[in-house]
């Protein structure tokens, strides 16, 4: 257990960008102590072998992933693994009493059939999976507070759902008209070497990918359906942008009431997110830039209404590695532990 | 007049990115000779003062803009000026018998009322304006061939209309469902120093702008209406992308016939653009990257159908300064002169 | 005065990148309260007008620059103004008992003749200027602790001097062989709109500037001379790099003792910077990347010896806006106030 | 053999960036016909599988590398292979009468001992290797004209040697004071996926690599020695820059005659390169930007003298994939064939 009464925390899968952000943010968190880093391919290396610039800041080694060891050393564990691995060790960790925050897709789905259809993996941990809560605090704060197992949202779903939630929850739009055109920096593709993510290929270029079949679609639709109270289908198109960090989701939907104007919706969104310290609704006529979020856990939302076409356009910007991944997981931990939701999380963007 | 029987060409407004691209492309065009560069604020400077790297390649000076002088020296003139200036000198140039290709918005509109509503400029050259042809060769080739005055399309309209044209012309979509989510490199904002276009501001960032009010909206709608045969209203949202060149337009629309599949549409698009050497329809499952177009006059179009939602998604990529501006103007000139449509224009992208 | 016993701090010239970094870092500093922002051209605006993303974080307005007002409200003031302005208000501020940390060149020089020769400004505040201390804590920590007026170093001199100091102080190199080839991101050029700093111009390009005449030359030579104990002249060439933040100085010099090897120098550098929490000497064979520093106040130094040529090559990386500007000024303040030198300053880079 | 009397050309190793540039440039060359593409790992694929955007422009497949086949189909072959492979097939190709232009290091060295020391490969083709000419036309034009086998220079040596040649040839500098601080875009690292070349890692970062041990050092020193007429040792440090294309070499050296001023050197350089259509000496006070070269075969050289330190600073900018690789090889071919040295090569940069 951690010294000075701090909570002992471990990270499994610390070598990727999600991992290094968790390490960075948890180092500065006043109530936790990072005591364990685990990994498969990188086991035996020090964390500084992977990230030399952290040699003088983090002196942990990467250890093999053994649930028993983790359980003996940690009260809380973050899992940052490829899909299909978290579900293999989580049952043991939960049984041993740990709090588990999983950053993969394994515990995001209410229904494991959907998971199987989109991820191609059959699962036997149905009972445990049924106890998982979707870790988007702005929508499921109370359930997160009472949970031991969190399925942290994907980066695209975070940006998309924060843009859509007030509209769907209050029945302001025709759900089947919702189109999400999302744009992400390349760090969302992880640290593994792929030709398409090389600077020489990705810089000064731009393209869509996974059109009509990206795995974040069922995740977004699941939560949209929960918000609307009935099955909702959305159009979602991700794009790769020549930048390191940041997601912008541009969301289009037809308003049910063509009389609503921009300022009405700003008022509605502000009320909806009144108790949400990490969501900021832009002033009238202001649209968010992803750079405003880089390095912080904030989501900026800008709203426009096109009265000619009767559509609302919502733009939602986050740092994909913070609010879209590591920061949001820590936000969930804060809620689970009963701490301030903002504890230890960066509020001010790195700008420029 | 040019030597060796070449056509004498001038450029008014040569100092901007449109101008420097015209200079570059026209230098390599086998049938023209560049004999005149004009500008207001830069008059008296040499072109090399503005672009030192062209000092040894282009030895023209920037001259004051006097229609009489231009008419005495040029057979063809490209106007690359801020909106509202071309219409002041074009009547004289046309009267003197010159061919005029205007890159501003001045001669793009069938109806000067629309121009006035969106650009705030009242015009007295209605008679001349009525003779202008919209310079998108893939749609108006025959009329361009017979015209003396071309209103060259904007960069966003070029990418957007090439994506929408076959769908609208053949009644395949419900027009009012069309949403264009467009993304552009910052060279589209020109060479004038603006804080928002500084590398320190625009790099590693991403934002929408001009939502529901960008001036390319009426231009796109005018041509969509012409294609559909009735008034069409579209949703258009431009975004600033941290790269120098390239536009990607991601276009969404609901298909009238939900039975159409991707390959049907690819066949339809290929037939529609059969005689268009500058439009390439991607193979099934391939989506275009803007880098594929950089430095060439090509437009790449990728097509996807989402059978769950009944929508077609068309992705259209161009180099905003070539097919979106200078290259397209030269393509129009080639048609006006009866030359090969591909003459003197770059076919192979600069990649990577 | 600040509440809760915090020190009241003001910033004059808050609108630029130095200013916004100071605002960001001071907001998170546990012992200070930011109570005043001043500016000339931006007076009357709120800080959020300049940086909309800080609207919900910083609610100060920009006030006119009146030394009397500043003195009445602040105990400490940071001046982030163009050269030649700080020296106009500093005498009053010092007289009123404030601690002044100036980020311009005004108080960097031991000899105002040098300042006049390179900056073309004649000065009348010689008596005050003589009390200023050069704010590079790694070299002048004790004098900073006793001073009321700090002339904070330029970004290039910070990176260059930290690379050269152990070599010069210990007479390890032939001083006149020192060549500094420095590379900086474009944020070093400030937030003012200049054509050469546009993304479309500066991205995917690279060039030297100010060769043999950059104003940081006399600043570097002054401190090098102080370290060596005799007049030293260096070669310094800055380059503009297509990135937002970061400086790398690659320093070449001929070793007096050709028998010295890399590990000797690493040992010497580590000893020299033993008590310097913000300087990290890389392990043998490791060269620093500027990305390792982005967002932190750290300077990473890598060392190589070329035994074929007898030269040492030292590579020094900093975040130009933090250790090269705002962070270093706060580091000086910490020392002046007797606080921990690391207090309130970011330690972990933003990476990636 | 090619139709219309064109020369039949093949490329072995067409899948990398050198290959794709050769393909692009040779397609537009009026005197050659590209008839063969060869590769090992990519054999059996079409070129369009590797570069989908060229599907409609290049319809060649990648064939296995069999010297007999190549010899039967081609008159000229470019080899763009990893080091140590060209030397295995070149003897057969030469024997069959082909002209061979090798882009690897295999045929760059006068002395195969040097090659062995730096590349760790023992060679048995000494006789053939002795007939190879170093393919830097500005220095070895006459020998290239008479050769059947060209060892094309590396990208860094091209930029470095063009900066140093007039100085060394005319004894203007103290050779051992020469320091080359070189900066390259990431395309120089090739198209293979490596973590360090990912956009997320390399963008917004900057670092030196291979300090005092990069394999281009012996290549540069060999030619410098040839120019000086005696053994010359240089300092060479490459840096990775967050951009796709371009190299800038900043070269420092002490002048023998301290009375020489900038304009003297400009005159000397202009005279030295008088008959070199691909080298441009910048006007007094102008320093080259790599963007000026992107897409062209030009090398821009800027010159400064620091009269305080007695050093000359020469800045040399090229497009690493054109003048630094594919373009220069074609320039050599033009000379070998007795064509204009500029034939088929791009002259105007892509700018911006």
DSSP state of A258: T
Give the closest residue to B217 by CA, choosing from B234, B197, B202.
B234
Residue B230: burial class (beta carbons within 10 Å; 0-12, 13-18, 19+): exposed
Residue from the list B207, B242, B250 with its beta carbon closest to the beta carbon of A288: B207
| Cross-chain Cβ contact A52/C282 below 8 Å | yes
C243, C249, C250, C256 alpha-carbon torsion, rounded to 10°: 180
Span B213-239, average pLDDT: 98
Task: Quote the pTM value.
Answer: 0.97
In angstroms, the separation between the Cα of residue C226 and the nearest Cα of chain B is: 35
Q: Which residues contact D211 (CB under 8 A, 6 or more apart)?
A: C287, C304, C306, C313, C315, D237
Q: How far apart are CA D41 and CA D64, in angstroms?
A: 9
Of A75, A106, A81, give the one whose Cα is nearest residue A8.
A75
Alpha carbon of D226 to those of A97, D110, D140, D169, D220: distances in Å? 74, 10, 11, 9, 10
- Chain D residues inside the 8 Å CB shell of B57: 347-348
* pLDDT band, very low/low/confident/very high, at D31 (cuts 50, 70, 90): very high
Chains that touch A (3 or more CB pairs under 8 A): B, C, D
Nearest C-alpha neighbor of C283 from the set C297, C269, C293:
C269
Which of C80, C46, C88, C82 has its CA nearest to residue C63?
Answer: C46
pLDDT tens profile D182-221: 999 999 999 999 999 999 999 999 999 999 999 999 999 9
Does D262 contact chain C (CB < 8 Å)?
Answer: no
**Fold annotation for A156-321:** Dihydrodipicolinate Reductase; domain 2 (3.30.360)
Residue with tokens 């281009």: D216
- If you average pLDDT over every residue of chain C, what do you get? 96
Tell me what the mean pLDDT of segment A98-124 comes to. 97
| Backbone phi, psi, residue A81, to 5° | -120, 160
Collapsing DSSP to helix, strand or coil, D302 comes out as strand
Residue among B27, B53, B293 whose CB faces D292 most closely = B53
* Chain segment A273-286, per-residue pLDDT in tens: 999 999 999 999 99
How far apart (Å, rounded) are the C-alpha atoms in residues A131 and B240?
Answer: 42
* Cβ neighbours of residue C53 closer than 8 Å, sequence gap 6 or more: A288, A289, A291, A292, A293, A300, A349, A351
Does A191 contact D201 at a Cβ distance shorter than 8 Å?
Answer: yes
Contacts of residue D95, defined as CB under 8 A and 6 or more positions apart, other chains included, come to none
Least confident range of A2-16, B167-181, B313-327, D196-210: A2-16
3-state class (DSSP) for residue A195 = helix
Query: Is C53 close to A292, i.e. CB distance below 8 A?
Result: yes
Write down the domain spans for chain C: 3-131, 156-320
Q: What is residue C3's predicted lDDT score, i.e. its pLDDT?
A: 54
Beta strands in chain A (DSSP E): 7-12, 32-38, 62-63, 76-79, 99-102, 133-134, 149-151, 179-184, 207-208, 235-240, 247-254, 279-281, 299-306, 311-318
Q: Which residues neighbour A269 within 8 Å (Cβ) at sequence distance 6 or greater?
A: A166, A281, A301, A303
Nearest CB partner across the interface for D242, out of C201, C233, C243: C243
CB–CB contacts below 8 A, A to B: 154
The third-level CATH classification (topology) of the domain covering D3-131 is Rossmann fold (3.40.50)
CB contact (8 A) between residue D186 and residue A200: yes
- The pair of structure tokens assigned to C98 is 């404030």
Chains touching B (at least 3 CB pairs under 8 A) are: A, C, D
- Predicted confidence at residue A4, as pLDDT, reads 64
- Of B212-216, C38-42, C289-293, D138-142, give the lowest mean pLDDT range: C38-42
Write the DSSP string, C51-119: -GGGTTT--PBEE---HHHHHHH-SEEEE---TTTHHHHHHHHHHTT-EEEE-SSTT--S-HHHHHHHH
Catalytic residue among D74, D87, D155, D332: D155
* Cβ neighbours around C258 below 10 Å, total: 12
DSSP-assigned letters across all residues of D56-81: TT--PBEE---HHHHHHH-SEEEE--
pLDDT digit string, tens, across residues D273-297 = 999 999 999 999 999 999 999 999 9
Q: Is the pLDDT of residue D3 over 90?
A: no
CA distance C158 to C168: 15
Q: Is B304 an interface residue toward A (CB < 8 Å)?
A: yes
State the Cα–Cα distance between residues C20 and C35, nearest whole angstrom: 14
Q: Nearest-CA residue of chain D relative to A240?
A: D199
The 3-state DSSP composition of chain D as helix, strand, coil percent (nearest 5) reads 40, 20, 40
Burial of B176 (0-12, 13-18, 19+ CB in 10 A): middle
Termini Cα distance of chain B: 39
**Band of pLDDT at residue B2, cut at 50, 70 and 90:** very low
Question: What's the mean per-residue pLDDT of chain D?
Answer: 96
Residue in C44, C53, C47 with CA at minimum distance from that of residue C11 = C47
Which residue has tokens 């040295």? Answer: D341
Banded model confidence at residue B4, pLDDT cuts 50, 70, 90: low
* Adjacency order of strands within the sheet including A76-79: A62-63, A32-38, A7-12, A76-79, A99-102, A149-151, A133-134
* A237 and chain B in contact, CB less than 8 A: yes
Residue D55: pLDDT band by 50, 70, 90 thresholds? confident
Q: Using a CB-CB distance cutoff of 8 angstroms, which residues of chain B are in contact with residue C185?
A: 200
Residue C259: other Cβ atoms inside 10 A: 8
Determine, for residues A204 and B289 on separate chains, whether the beta-carbon distance falls below 8 Å.
Answer: no
Is the predicted pLDDT of residue B14 greater than 70, yes or no? yes
Q: Is residue D217 left, alpha or beta, with left meaning phi > 0 and alpha meaning psi from -120 to 50?
A: alpha
Alpha-carbon span D249 to D253, nearest angstrom: 13
* Mean of the per-residue pLDDT values of chain B: 96
User: How many residues can be counted in chain C?
Assistant: 352
Q: Which CATH class is domain D155-321?
A: alpha beta
Query: Contacts of residue C193 in chain B, CB cutoff 8 Å?
Result: 193-195, 197-198
Q: Which residue in chain D has the smallest CA separation from B244?
A: D352
- Token pair listed for A27: 């180092």
| Cα separation, C232 vs D58, whole angstroms | 60
In this prediction, what percent of chain B has a pLDDT beyond 90? Answer: 97
Residue of D252, D258, D104 lying closest to D177 (CA atoms): D252
pLDDT given for residue B57 in this prediction: 86
Residue (of D251, A236, A5, A302) closest to C53 by Cα position = A302
Q: How close is the nearest chain A Cα to the Cα of D286, in Å?
A: 27
* Of the candidates D175, D297, D154, the residue with the CA atom closest to the CA atom of residue D224: D175
What distance in Å separates the CA atoms of residue C104 and residue B66, rounded to the nearest whole number? 48
CB proximity B244 to D under 8 Å: yes
User: Using CB atoms and an 8 Å cut-off, which of residues 181-220 of chain C contact chain A?
Assistant: 187, 191, 203-204
The model's confidence at residue C302, banded by pLDDT at 50, 70 and 90, is very high
Task: Give chain B positions within 8 Å (CB) of A293.
Answer: none
Q: Does B156-320 carry CATH code 3.40.50.300? A: no
**pLDDT value of residue B1:** 42
Going by their DSSP bridges, the two strands B149-151 and D299-306 should be labelled as: unpaired
Partners of D288 on chain B (C-beta within 8 Å) are: 53
Residue contact B181–A176, C-beta within 8 A: no
Q: In chain D, what residues touch A197 (CB-CB under 8 Å)?
A: 193, 198-200
> How many CB atoms lie under 10 A from the CB of residue B73?
17
CA dihedral angle for residue B339, residue B342, residue B345, residue B347, rounded to 10 degrees = -170
Distance between CA atoms of C20 and C166, rounded to whole angstroms? 33
Q: Are D18 and D194 a contacting pair, CB within 8 Å?
A: no
Q: Under a CB-based contact definition with an 8 Å cutoff, are residues C129 and C112 in contact?
A: yes
Laid out side by side, the sheet with B235-240 consists of B207-208, B235-240, B179-184, B247-254, B311-318, B299-306, B279-281
Q: What is the pLDDT of residues B90-106, one digit of tens each?
A: 999 999 999 999 999 99
A270 burial type by CB count under 10 A (0-12 exposed, 13-18 middle, 19+ buried): middle
Per residue in D150-175, pLDDT (tens digit) is 999 999 999 999 999 999 999 999 99
User: What is the reported pLDDT for A1?
Assistant: 42
Candidates B187, B195, B200; nearest CB to C200: B187
Q: Compute the nearest-CA separation of C233 from chain A (Å).
A: 33
Q: Are A73 and A35 in contact, with CB atoms under 8 Å apart?
A: yes
């Amino acid at each position: 257990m951690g010294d000075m009464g701090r909570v002992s925390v471990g990270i499994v899968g610390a070598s990727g960008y999600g991992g290094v952000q968790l390490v960075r943010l948890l180092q500065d968190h006043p109530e936790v102590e990072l005591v364990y880093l685990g990994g498969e391919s990188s086991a035996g290396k020090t964390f500084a072998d992977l990230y030399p610039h952290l040699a003088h800041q983090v002196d942990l080694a990467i250890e093999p992933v053994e649930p028993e060891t983790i359980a003996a050393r940690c009260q809380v564990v973050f899992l940052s693994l490829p899909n299909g691995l978290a579900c293999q060790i989580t049952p043991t960790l939960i049984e041993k009493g740990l709090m588990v925050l999983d950053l993969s897709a394994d515990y995001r789905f209410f229904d494991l059939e959907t998971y199987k259809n989109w991820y191609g993996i059959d699962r036997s941990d149905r009972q445990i999976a049924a106890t998982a809560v979707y870790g988007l605090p702005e929508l499921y704060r109370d359930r997160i507070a009472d949970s031991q197992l969190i399925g942290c949202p994907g980066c695209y779903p975070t940006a998309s759902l924060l843009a859509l939630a007030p509209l769907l929850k209050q029945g302001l739009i025709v759900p089947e008209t919702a189109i999400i055109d999302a744009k992400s920096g390349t760090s969302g593709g992880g640290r593994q070497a792929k030709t398409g993510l090389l600077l020489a290929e990705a810089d000064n270029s731009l393209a869509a990918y996974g059109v009509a079949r990206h795995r974040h679609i069922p995740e977004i639709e699941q939560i949209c359906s929960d918000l609307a109270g009935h099955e909702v289908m959305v159009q979602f198109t991700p794009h790769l942008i020549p930048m390191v960090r940041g997601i912008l989701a541009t969301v289009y939907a037809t308003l049910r009431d063509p009389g609503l104007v921009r300022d009405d919706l700003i008022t509605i969104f502000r009320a909806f997110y009144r108790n949400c310290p990490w969501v900021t609704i832009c002033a009238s006529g202001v649209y968010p830039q992803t750079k405003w979020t880089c390095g912080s856990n904030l989501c900026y939302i800008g709203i426009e209404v096109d009265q000619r076409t009767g559509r609302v356009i919502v733009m939602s910007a986050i740092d994909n590695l913070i609010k879209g991944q590591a920061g949001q997981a820590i936000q969930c931990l804060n809620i689970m532990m009963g701490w301030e939701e903002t504890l230890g999380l960066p509020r001010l963007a790195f700008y420029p």
